[in-house]
Structure 1
Amino acid sequence: MSASVGDRIRLHANTTDVPDRTGTIVAVLGEDGPPYRVRFDAGEETIVTPGPDATIEAGSVGDKVGLAAEAAGEKASEIAGEVREQAEGAAGAAARAVADVADSVAQRFRH
Structure 2
Amino acid sequence: MSASVGDRIRMHSNHTDVSDRTGTVVAVLGEDGPPYRIRFDDGHETIVTPGPDATFESGSVTDKLGLAAEQAGATAAEVAGAAKEQAEGAAGTAARVVSDLADDVAKRFDR
Please report the TM-score for the alignment, with normalisation by the length of structure 1: 0.99
When the two chains are superposed, the root-mean-square deviation of aligned CA atoms in Å is 0.4
Q: Which residue matches 1:46?
A: 46
Secondary structure of the residue aligned to 1:27 is: strand
Q: Which residue matches 2:22?
A: 22
Q: Which residue matches 1:102?
A: 102
Count of matched residue positions in the alignment of Structure 1 and Structure 2: 111
Q: Using the alignment, how far apart are the partners of 1:63 and 1:77 within structure 2?
A: 21
Q: Percent identity?
A: 75
Unpaired runs of at least 5, structure 1: none
Unpaired runs of at least 5, structure 2: none
| 4+ residue segments displaced more than 3 Å | none
Q: Which residue matches 2:65?
A: 65
What is the CA distance between 1:43 and its match in structure 2?
A: 1.0
1:81-96 mapped onto 2 (5 Å cutoff)? 81-96=81-96
1:35-65 Cα shifts (integer Å, max 9, x gaps) = 0000000110000000000000000000000
Please report the TM-score for the alignment, with normalisation by the length of structure 2: 0.99
Q: Which residue matches 2:34?
A: 34
